[in-house]
Homo-oligomer: A and B are copies of this chain.
Amino acid sequence: MPPPRPDADAHRAWLTRAIELGRSNLVSGDGGPFGAVIVMDGQVIGEGRNQVLQTHDPTAHAEVMALRQACTRLGRHQLPQAILYSSCEPCPMCLSAAYWAHIPRVYFAATRDDAAAAGFIDAELYALFEQRKRATMAIEQIDLPEARAALSAWIDSPLHQPY
């Protein structure tokens, strides 16, 4: 058996840190036992743990908290050189958040099914997108021309920045 690659060891070490952050919630009760770390050039630039119950913010997942910390610290809404490590497979919200931040690589340890076994709806949420199941959420378009007009105006605006 070949020796472990150094980068594989690094990935495990960062994931282990993410898991530790998540486990701290088993004591605090601030949210589910989820943690995340964002690393760039071998340095941590953001850490987060789930704080949904503490803050009442349903978006306060570990990955979102870590992203917010990294981006606001660096003053950049995009991190195209960063890696996201998450104790558990990011839910579609968190994965999308990482995508908006242009993070190109994500490592996780536990899976959406492990989260489901702990009572979380991650797998159900993936199904919402993958199988277009929307049984528990009605989503409807009302076509208003002024909505598209705002988008056209954005393209033409001098304030426009792509993101």
Contacts and interface: CB of A to CB of B under 8 A. Distances in A.
Interface of A: 11-12, 15-16, 19, 22-23, 25-26, 28-29, 32-33, 52-53, 55-59, 64, 67-68, 71-72, 74-78, 87-89, 91-93, 95-101, 103-111, 114-115, 117-121, 125-126, 128-130, 132, 136-144, 146-148, 150-155, 157, 159-163
Given A59-B59, A109-B144, A147-B114, A93 B104 contact: no
B58 A151 contact: no
Contacts of A67: 57-59
Say how many copies of this protein the assembly contains.
2
A58 B32 contact: no
A122 to B, nearest CB: 10
B150 A108 contact: no
B71 A106 contact: no
A64 to B, nearest CB: 5
A106 B68 contact: no
B59 A136 contact: no
Nearest to A50: B163
